[in-house]
Structure 1
Amino acid sequence: MASRMTYPPEPTEHGPWAHDRTWTGDARSAAACAVLLFGLLLALDAATGRLVPWRALLWLGLGVLLFAALTPPRVAVHGTILVSRGPLRTRSVRLDRLVTVRRDDGIAPRLVLRDASGGRVVLDPEVLVVNPPLWQAVDGGARSSVAAGSLLCGATALRRLSERIDRETGEGVFRASGLE
């Protein structure tokens, strides 16, 4: 019987959890968009004289759906476990047992991580760019997987992401020091 992983569990020998620092702001923006849509639809119905309780509930449901669609998954890492918690499910991968890392460049770029036990996490690479502790854990886990021989596909995607993070970090240091 598989045990359920609580989110976040208590800190252990691996230290505390490292979380996505930008998630709160993104969730706040999603909530603002949902409330704005709900308010505009209510105001439009009130202005046209068609506001009735069932329509207000319909607009409320539409606002809730928009909030759920816009809220990004919450990403955290603890030791060698990366967890992505979305509105409907929580997914996790063991970073030291990665078998593939794939980058999907579509309308919204995504990084897909898979481990040897079938775990799969999809996340926005920007989360790793703006959160150095998350990136360090993913990079360290990928290096462990390469050393163990389990990471068969994805070294190129991780190298490109690493180069991007290094470039943006260097640019940030130059901007902060006035050497642009």
Structure 2
Amino acid sequence: MQGKAKIGVLTVSDRASRGEYEDISGRYIIEYLNDVITSPFEIVYRIVPDERDIIEGALVHMSDIDKCCLILTTGGTGPAPRDVTPEATQTVCEKLLPGFGELMRSVSLNQVPTAILSRQIAGIRGSTLIVNLPGKPQSIKVCLDAVFPAIPYCIDLIGGPYITTDEKKVKAFRPSK
């Protein structure tokens, strides 16, 4: 598939969805993407409450209707009762990619011992890669710096657009042919 990539940014937060809290994390993800991606792309951005059926609906819509090749979620990955983003992600995905969560927790453990409480996962729905990220901008950066090198190639493999990066910031890895 060629053309401009559509990338979804989904913030999961009760307070941000009610307008009581500024969505710093979602905005940070958008800034990160604008900083590292050099190929044309557009952002599809949403904020939803911590409600599993609403999260699932947003993921399905962004994947199937908006045709995002990548959806990055932020929030709802901890152990609190209302943290249900991984469960919603698992429900809508056809394949899980456990290496993403494993790597994100591993690099986060170098920063804080509570990284073991994070439950972020990643998976594939059709031709969309969905990656759960933590809720704090510094943690988001650590996780994206670790996993983003594999994201463009993963999108290639599932039939998405060819995404290029600023190699001084994030070097996308693609095996030589």
Using the size of structure 2 for normalisation, the TM-score is 0.28
Using the size of structure 1 for normalisation, the TM-score is 0.28
Q: Comparing both chains, which one has the higher relative contact order based on Cα–Cα distances under 8 Å and sequence gaps of 6 or more?
A: 2
